[in-house]
Amino acid sequence: MSEQTGPETQQPSTPAEPEREADSTRAAGSVDAPSLADILLAVEELWPESLAEGWDAVGLVTGRPSQPVSKILFAVDPVLEVIEEAATWEADLLITHHPLLLRGVNSVAANTPKGRAVHRLIETATALLTVHTNGDSAVGGVSDVLADALGLEDVQPLTQAANGLPEEGIGRVGDLPELTSLADLAGRLFGILPTVAGGVRVAGDRDGLVRRVAVCGGAGDGLFDAVRAAEADVYITADLRHHPASEARESAPDGRPYLLDVSHFASEWLWLPAAAAALDNVLRDQGHEIDIRVSTVNTDPWDFILTPGEG
């Protein structure tokens, strides 16, 4: 059964329970639990690795395919605090959106954050699986969830996947049911996203009317050509850098597309409850009932922000 809980804005730091033995402690009472290999097949059905971008690193990072899985935790980032949360709950599998080892490494010694993460995963017998750009591109992926939350209609990919269906690819574009002001859309978006320090940054006429909306969960300032080709009135994404945003505004006719810049973490966290529910449904169809939760740890890197008038 899947359980979805929003991330806490405070930084919970529950101490990890004593380390557990991978084979003896976990196996007890888990005779009917699916194996990690079974879970990998279900994940591949939902988010095929073939949809991942060429530069990406997705798939199994730690864990034995033969180990039983009775608890799965979903999270955005495989940081130590999330790994300890998984260990405390005695999760057998941690599924994260962001990779732990995106770039090549020469060592996983425990004197670095990534090394300590690998050690803790192995010490606590917690398998780690990455679903990154394959989770972005697939039907029901990160940007689909964001588009659904905003009520967009006639949704299509911003860029089609090279190895996917016509409805798969990075980013989405669709239409609001009715015209709305940029300020109202920004307010609606702010209310949808989990609470983080950065909020929503807006570029454009607050009273300007918008209907066609492009979205890309995570960093999307490389998609401006596709956004313009889609004739979007507004583009919602994260991590907009100064120069791409400035150039987009300078080249935009009538100031469009307007820009809504949100937290990278917040834009992708929305996918986690949907992903947990989707995996739960697939596993139930296969005759498996396991516990699936969404992490409560806020892994947005920023703690507070100052705005004009504040000290």
Q: Please identify, among 246, 262, 278, the residue that sits at the C-terminal boundary of a domain.
A: 262
- Assess if residue 305 is contained within a domain: no
What pLDDT band is residue 20 in, cutting at 50, 70 and 90? very low
Q: What is the pLDDT of residues 161-192, one digit of tens each?
A: 998 999 999 999 999 999 999 999 999 999 99
Q: What is the pLDDT of residues 124-138, one digit of tens each?
A: 999 999 999 999 999
Shared domain for 165 and 79, answered yes or no, is no
- Assess if residue 175 is contained within a domain: yes
Which among 161, 86, 100, 167 has a CA at the least distance from the CA of 129? 100
Neighbours of 219 (CB within 10 A): 15
What pLDDT band is residue 78 in, cutting at 50, 70 and 90? very high
Q: What are the tokens at 76?
A: 């955005």
Buried b (16+ CB within 10 A) or exposed e, 74-112: bbbbbbebbbbbbbebbbbbbbbbbbbbeeeeeebeeee
Q: What is the pLDDT of residue 17?
A: 38
- Assess if residue 243 is contained within a domain: yes
3-state secondary structure 61-72: EECCCCCECCEE
- Please give the share of the chain, as a percent, with pLDDT higher than 70: 89
What pLDDT band is residue 311 in, cutting at 50, 70 and 90? low
Q: Average per-residue pLDDT in the chain?
A: 90
DSSP state at residue 139: T
Q: Which helix (H) or strand (E) holds 202?
A: strand 200-203
Shared domain for 194 and 158, answered yes or no, is yes
Q: Which domain holds residue 281?
A: 2-135+268-294
Which among 195, 215, 42 has a CA at the least distance from the CA of 131? 42
Q: Which residue has the higher pLDDT, 225 or 30?
A: 225
- Is a pLDDT exceeding 80 seen at residue 32? no
Distance between CA atoms of residues 94 and 37, nearest Å: 14
CATH number at residue 275: 3.40.1390.30
Q: What is the pLDDT of residue 4?
A: 54
Taking CA atoms, 113 is separated from 70, 120, 130, 220, in Å, by: 27, 11, 17, 27
- Assess if residue 304 is contained within a domain: no
Report pTM: 0.88
Q: What is the pLDDT of residues 244-300, one digit of tens each?
A: 999 988 987 788 999 999 999 999 999 999 999 999 999 999 999 999 999 999 999
Q: What is the pLDDT of residue 6?
A: 59
- Assess if residue 53 is contained within a domain: yes
Q: Please identify, among 262, 279, 304, the residue that sits at the C-terminal boundary of a domain.
A: 262
Q: Which residue has the higher pLDDT, 23 or 3?
A: 3
| 196 contacts 263 by C-beta, under 8 angstroms | yes
- Assess if residue 97 is contained within a domain: yes
- Assess if residue 289 is contained within a domain: yes
Distance between CA atoms of residues 132 and 98, nearest Å: 6
DSSP state at residue 271: H
Which among 207, 203, 206 has a CA at the least distance from the CA of 224? 203
Number of structural domains, the chain? 2
Q: What is the pLDDT of residues 81-115, one digit of tens each?
A: 999 999 999 999 999 999 999 988 888 899 999 99
Q: What is the pLDDT of residue 285?
A: 95
What pLDDT band is residue 3 in, cutting at 50, 70 and 90? low
Shared domain for 229 and 246, answered yes or no, is yes
Shared domain for 61 and 27, answered yes or no, is yes
158: helix, coil or strand? strand
